[in-house]
Amino acid sequence: MKKFSLKRRLVFAVILSQLLLALGLVLVASRLAHYYLQSAFDVYLEGRALTVGALVYYPDDGRPGLLFDDSKIPRSPHEIHKDLYQVRSDRGDFERHANLYKPGLFDGLPSAAHFWDFEFDGEPYRAIVLRDFAILDTEASVPKPLPKLTVIYAAPTMDIGQRITTLASAIGLTGAVIVLPTILLAVWNIRRALTPLHDLADQAKSISVHNWEFQPSEEAKSAVELQPLIGAIETVLSGLQRAFTRQREFLGDAAHELKTSLAIVKSTLQSLLNRPRGAGEYRDGLEHVSEDSDRLEELLSRMLRLARVEQWAADGIHRDLDLVDVASTCEMAIARISELAGARDIHIDFSTSQMVLMRADPADLELVWLNLLENAVKYSAPGSQVNVSIAAASHSAEISVSDSGIGIPESELGRIFERFRRGDPSRSRATGGFGLGLAIAKSVVEAYKGSIHAESKLGEGTRISVILPTWSPPSAKRHEPGHSTSDVPLTRQVRSSQ
């Protein structure tokens, strides 16, 4: 798309609006002037026509016929283009006209018109027609009925056009004198009003991975129109800064974990090479190397899994997903963790009162429950119990995993879903964790438009709840085969013990 200047567009819009305003003023003034000048001119024509009609009289000696006193014809205001007139009787026995009159001049006169515009010798004229005009002079000897006159009087209208042109020129010149300073003032105001936006752009331009400072001017902050933009920029910057910080922390923590695992493997190998050993010692050493290699492989696997899940969450899940029974995925996760729970004498109790269906990959959901159960089992005291429950709502379900373990400090509770985050790093090797399980669970839940949060008290245990959107069958459609969606409560309990 071609680049454009916002300031130039605003200036152009102001100039164009001012010019259109001036042009509209000239047009309106010209129309009004034309209307009033023509009205005055029509009054002038009517007066002249009445004067001409009054010059028709009867002879004083009683002779038949009509006379016309042309010596009292009003003088034409124009020396070159003179006024025209015609007076005629309805009996056809009397007609008088101006000296410049040409036969057939008024033949095109409309039959019912009171005024008429035409051209004569290349000049515009306007005429008035007085029909059935009564002769003002009366004589007793004149036989009845009396004749009626038709009086036509025409005058050039060039003065009207000249006056309108002069008026329009004067208004246009005055408008230009007024509009020019107005445009200059408007342009100055636009530039001044855009100054906070320029400052904001300069501040945004200076932002980089090395400079996260965004300090808009007080003038920009006080602009109501810029406040949403400033708020959006600050929100985006805050999110980006957190993301960059997490990325740096992730790389540092990942490097540390990898270095630690590799250092352990290297240390074990070096100890085996320091002096000759028996076959049993070599076997024990290689078994330790194999265990540490497995741990390193598990770390890399979880890092890759976390990266894939976060990519799904960022792009949205666009896979074709089938309906999944959430309770079944919980049972599968419990079955996988049962060996670890049995080794630590941890009892797992699972209960649900209703079948809950949602469109998901069962492996994703099983991964979430497995990570939550793994944390609950690892940080619970031997002989304690871990509870898993499902509570269904209208369009969502809450899956909770709670334990009675050591709990999480309140200061750390908001950060347990961060990558490589552990409440007590010293316990990482003792519990075999990397601090990625809850981060993976959170990413998977958010990829399915769900939410996850934790509640905990030191010495009392932790409860982690996951809320996921569920599938509800349309009432007018048949339920999918293989799934029960009746309103009869369904109770399922699974108890895992040593």
258-290 pLDDT, tens digit each: 776 777 788 878 888 887 888 888 888 888 888
Rounded to the nearest angstrom, the gap between the alpha carbon of residue 173 and the centroid of all alpha carbons in its chain is 43
Confidence (pLDDT) at 187: 83
Confidence (pLDDT) at 314: 63
97: CB partners within 8 A, 6+ apart: 84, 85, 86, 87
Partners of 319 in the beta sheet? none
Rg of the chain over all Cα atoms, to the nearest angstrom? 51
Confidence (pLDDT) at 489: 40
Confidence (pLDDT) at 319: 61
Confidence (pLDDT) at 467: 94
118: CB partners within 8 A, 6+ apart: 108, 124, 125, 127, 154
283-341 pLDDT, tens digit each: 888 888 887 787 777 777 767 776 776 676 666 655 677 899 999 999 999 998 898 89
Of 114, 88, 84, nearest in space to 100 by CA: 84
Of 159, 102, 90, 92, nearest in space to 130 by CA: 90
Paired tokens of 324: 């999944």
Confidence (pLDDT) at 249: 67
Confidence (pLDDT) at 246: 67
Indicate the domain borders of the chain. Answer: 6-165, 226-310, 320-474+483-496
Q: What is the DSSP letter of 134?
A: E
The helix-helix angle for 227-273 and 279-315 (nearest 10°) equals: 170
- In SS3 terms, 81-110 reads as CCCEEEEEECCCCCEEECCCCCCCCCCCCC
Domain 226-310 has CATH 1.10.287.130: yes
**Residue 183, SS3 per DSSP:** helix
Give the chain's residues under pLDDT 50. Answer: 425-432, 476-498
Rounded to the nearest angstrom, the gap between the alpha carbon of residue 448 and the centroid of all alpha carbons in its chain is 27
Please answer whether residues 451 and 338 qualify as being in contact, where contact means their C-beta atoms are separated by less than 8 angstroms: no
Q: What is the DSSP letter of 208?
A: B
Paired tokens of 190: 């636009």
Q: Please determine whether the domains at 226-310 and 320-474+483-496 fall in the same fold group of CATH.
A: no
Question: From the CB of residue 368, how many other CB atoms can be counted at a distance below 10 Å?
Answer: 30
Peptide linkage before 143 cis (omega within 30 of 0): no
pTM for the full model? 0.49
Confidence (pLDDT) at 497: 42
Which phi and psi (to 5°) does residue 473 adopt?
A: -70, 140
Peptide linkage before 276 cis (omega within 30 of 0): no
Homologous superfamily of domain range 320-474+483-496: Histidine kinase-like ATPase, C-terminal domain (3.30.565.10)
